[in-house]
Structure 1
Amino acid sequence: MTEPDIPSAYVRDKRTPPPSREELRARIPGWGADLDPADRPSHPKLQYPADTGAHWDFPERQPGAEGRERSIEHAFVTPVFGTAQPLHGLSGAIRRVAYRRFSEGRLAHWMLLIVGDRVDAWENHLRSFASGRPDVPATGLRGELTGNGLRSRAGRSDKRHQALDPVVVAGPWLAAAGVTALGARAVVRALRR
C-alpha cells in the first residue's frame, strides 16, 4: 500500500494540515465565536501533546482482509481484525448486504445486522435439531414449579406481565413446532399420492 492510500487516521503525523482560521471564517458563517479559551470550559482538555508516544507510523497489516466486512465509510479493513466468528449462511449474507450497501449512519444498516443476528440464532437452533441433541428452550418452567417460583411472584410489581411470560418465552418454540408438524404432515400426504 502506498503512502497516499493510508488514511490520516492511521498515521502518527497528520498529512493534511487543518484549514486556517481565516479560511474557516470565510467558509462557515459564525465560525470562531468560541475561540476565546476563557469562554470554553473544556479548553485545557483540548491541548494534545505533539509527541503521542507512538513508535510506528502504520501497523503491519494482518493477512486475510480480502472479503472481510467493513463499513463503506472506511477505505479498508482496520490493520488488525477478529477472525473468530466468520460470517456464514443466510445470516452472513444478510450482514454482508448491511456492510456493502448501507452507511453506519443509516437505520437500514443496523436493522439488517439485527435481522442477521436473529437469523443466526434460528440457524443454530435448526442445526441443534439436526444434530440429534436439540437446544433446551430456557423457559424457566422447571424453576417455577420446583423452586417456589410461583410463590415468589406474589409480591412482584410486574403482575400484569406475568400472564404473558409463558407466551413470550414458549410461544416461538410452540409456533416453530406447529409449523414443523404442518410441514411434516404435508410432506407425508404428498408422498402418499
Structure 2
Amino acid sequence: MPYTAEDPRHWSADELRARIPGWGADVDPADRPSYPKQRYAPGETGAHWELPEQQPEHTPRERSIEHARLTPVFGTAAPLHGLSGAIRRFAYARYSEGRAAHWLLLVLGDRVDAIESHLRSLFTTHPDQPLTQTGVLSEGRRHGITSRFGHRRADVKHQWLDPILVAGPWILAVWGVVAVTRRAFSRR
C-alpha cells in the first residue's frame, strides 16, 4: 500500500522485513558491499604514503575558498589568461561554490574567453569564418528549412533566437570597429 495523506503509518523494520522480500539486506554493515570502503583500515590499502606528494605549483592556481589547499595532483593544461582569467580568479577568491555568483562569474568568464578567442583569431593567418563554421550555408543546401516543419523537432521553438546569438556578436563587433574608425577620422 502506498504512503498517502490518509495513512501516516510508519512501518517498523520487522513489519517491512515481513512484507517486502529482501528489505533491510544492507542494514548490517557486514552485509554491505561498500562496507570495506567505509572502514578506516590504512594497512589494507597498500598505499606507501599518508598523503601523496604535492605537485609543484609553478603558477598560482584557482581554488575554492572552502579548500585550504589544492589536491595533490591538478591539471595545468589550460592556465587562466586575459580578462576571462581575471574574472575566474575573482570568482574563486571572492565567492563560495555554494553561491550563484561564483558560478555566474565562471559562465561569464567562459563567454569572455570565447570572445577573446574570436578576437585573437582575427589577427592570425586563419581567422574564424562564421558563415562556414556555424553551418548557416548548409541550411539552404541540405533541406534545412523543410526539415524543420512536420517532424516535431525541438529546436523549432527557439530557432528565431539562433540568428541573434550567432550573428549578433559579429554585428556588434563590426559596428564597434566602424564607430571607432569614424571617431578616429572625425578628430583628424
Once residues 159 and 105 of structure 1 are traced to their aligned partners in structure 2, the CA distance between those partners, rounded to angstroms, is 35
Once residues 58 and 79 of structure 1 are traced to their aligned partners in structure 2, the CA distance between those partners, rounded to angstroms, is 8
Match of 1:76 among 58, 69, 77: 69
**Contact in 2 for aligned 1:95/1:113 (Cα 8 Å):** yes
Matches within 5 A, 1:49-68: 49-51=39-41, 53-55=45-47, 56-64=49-57, 67-68=60-61
Offset, 1:188: 2.2
**Contact in 2 for aligned 1:95/1:112 (Cα 8 Å):** yes
> Residues 56-110 of structure 1: CA distance to partner in whole angstroms, max 9, x if unpaired?
3100110116621111111111110000000111111111111111111111111
Partner of 1:102: 95
Deviates more, 1:128-137 or 1:85-94: 128-137
User: Identity of aligned pairs, percent?
Assistant: 51
Once residues 174 and 181 of structure 2 are traced to their aligned partners in structure 1, the CA distance between those partners, rounded to angstroms, is 10
Partner of 1:152: 147
Which amino acid is 2:126 matched to? R
- Are 2:163 and 1:171 equivalent residues in the alignment? no
Deviates more, 1:60-69 or 1:87-96: 60-69
5+ unaligned residues in a row in structure 2: which ranges? 1-11, 17-22
Once residues 66 and 158 of structure 2 are traced to their aligned partners in structure 1, the CA distance between those partners, rounded to angstroms, is 43
Deviates more, 1:125-134 or 1:157-166: 157-166
Matches within 5 A, 1:85-96: 85-96=78-89
Query: CA RMSD of the aligned region, Å?
Result: 2.7
Offset, 1:121: 0.7
Q: Tell me the number of residue pairs that the alignment of Structure 1 and Structure 2 aligns.
A: 156
TM-score normalised by the chain length of structure 2: 0.71
Once residues 50 and 143 of structure 1 are traced to their aligned partners in structure 2, the CA distance between those partners, rounded to angstroms, is 60
5+ unaligned residues in a row in structure 1: which ranges? 1-35
Deviates more, 1:127-136 or 1:159-168: 159-168
Where relative contact order (Cα < 8 A, 6+ residues apart) is larger, the structure is 1
TM-score normalised by the chain length of structure 1: 0.70
